[in-house]
Amino acid sequence: MAIAKAERLMNLALCLLGTRRPLSKRELRESIEAYLQAGSDDSFNRMFERDKDDLRELGLVIETVENLDGEVGYMARRDSNRLPPITLDAEEAAALGLAAKVWQQARLAAAASGALQKLRAAGLPEDVDPYETHGALEPRIPVHEAAFEPLMLACRDRRPVVFEYRKATAARPETRHVEPWALECWRGHWYLAGFDRDRGAERVFRLSRITGKVRTRGTGFTAPVPDVVTVRETVASWAGETADRTARIRLRKGAGYPLRARAVAVRELDGDWDELEIPYGHGLDAWLVEFGPDVVVLEPDELRADVVDRLRAVAEG
C-alpha cells in the first residue's frame, strides 16, 4: 500500500474512532489534510467512498447515521471495534521476540523494542526466551550503508532525494534525482525502488553503490506511487532468478561463492579453475562483471559478448 494512502486511511480511522457523534463528509474533509487537497467535490467523494470501503474490508465497523442537521454522518464506536485479548502460545511469542531483535542494528531498534514492551503489557509472556525456543538463532538485518537511514525517512515522508550512484559497469558515479518509494533487503543487500526523474521511469538502486550523502530536495512527488512496489521481483529478474536458459562459465577456485550457490552443476577443470552451469536470465552479465578476472564466460556467445562489452566500458571509463 502506498504511504500516502495508508496515512490517509489511518487519519480517517482515527477521526471516526475519536468522535462522540456522527461526522458528516464535510466535517471529515475539513479534518483530514489529504481530503482538503483532493480538488473537486467529485474527486473527494470518490476518494472518501474508496477509503471507507477499504477500512471496512480491514475490519473497522463504521456506522452510517443521520445527524441533527439531516446530513448523513459516520462514526466507529470503540466498543464495536475493540480487539479481543492477545493470546499467544510459546512459539508465537518467541517468533515476535526474534522479530523485535532483527532491527537492533538500525534506527528502528527503539521502535521494535517499544512495540515488544506494549505486547508484553497486553499479555505477551515475559518468561518466553526466543533463544531457548530456537537454539542459538539470532536474526539480523545488516544495515551498514549510510544511505539507509536518510532514505528510510525520505520514503516515510515522501520527499524526493538526490544522490551519487555508481553502476556496476561505470567507472564514475552519476547524479540521480529520485522519488523514493520503498526499501527492501534481498540476499543480504538493501535496495531502493523509486521514480528516477531524469529517466522518467521506475528504477531500483542498490544502496551499497550510493556514494556520498543522500540529500533531500523539496516535497511532493511528480509520479504516482504504485500500491505494490515489487523490489525483490525486479532485483531477482536482474540477477537471473527468472532464468529460462543455462550459462556455462569458468570460475577461479576460492572465488565467486554466490555463483557456486546458484550453480546446477560444478566440474573441476584443474587446480585453479572450476566449470559451472548456472541459470541464465536477464541481468546475469552485469552480475558476472562484478567478479572481474575470476570469471570467464564459456557459453552462450551472446552472454560472453555482453560481459566483454561491459568490461571494456569500465576499462575505457
Domain ranges in the chain are: 3-80, 90-133, 148-237, 245-316
Give, to the nearest 10 degrees, the angle between helix 109-121 and helix 90-101.
160
The grid coordinates listed for 118 are: 506494549
Side-chain-facing half-sphere of 139: CA atoms under 13 Å? 13
Judge contact between 171 and 154, C-beta under 8 A. no
Judge contact between 191 and 205, C-beta under 8 A. yes
β-strands 23-24, 72-75 pairing: antiparallel
Residue type, 135: G
Distance CA 253, CA 179 (A): 42
- The architecture of the domain spanning 3-80 is Orthogonal Bundle (1.10)
Task: Give the model confidence (pLDDT) of 64-83 as tens digits.
Answer: 887 667 788 999 888 788 76
Containing 230, the helix (H) or strand (E) segment is none
What is the dotted CATH code of the domain comprising 148-237? 2.30.30
pTM score, whole prediction: 0.45
Say what the pLDDT of residue 79 is: 79
194 bridge partner residues:
180, 203
Most confident option among 64-78, 87-101, 149-163, 283-297: 149-163
The confidence band for 180, taking pLDDT boundaries of 50, 70 and 90, is very high
User: 295 or 59: whose pLDDT is higher?
Assistant: 295
Distance CA 307, CA 286 (A): 7
Say what the pLDDT of residue 57 is: 85
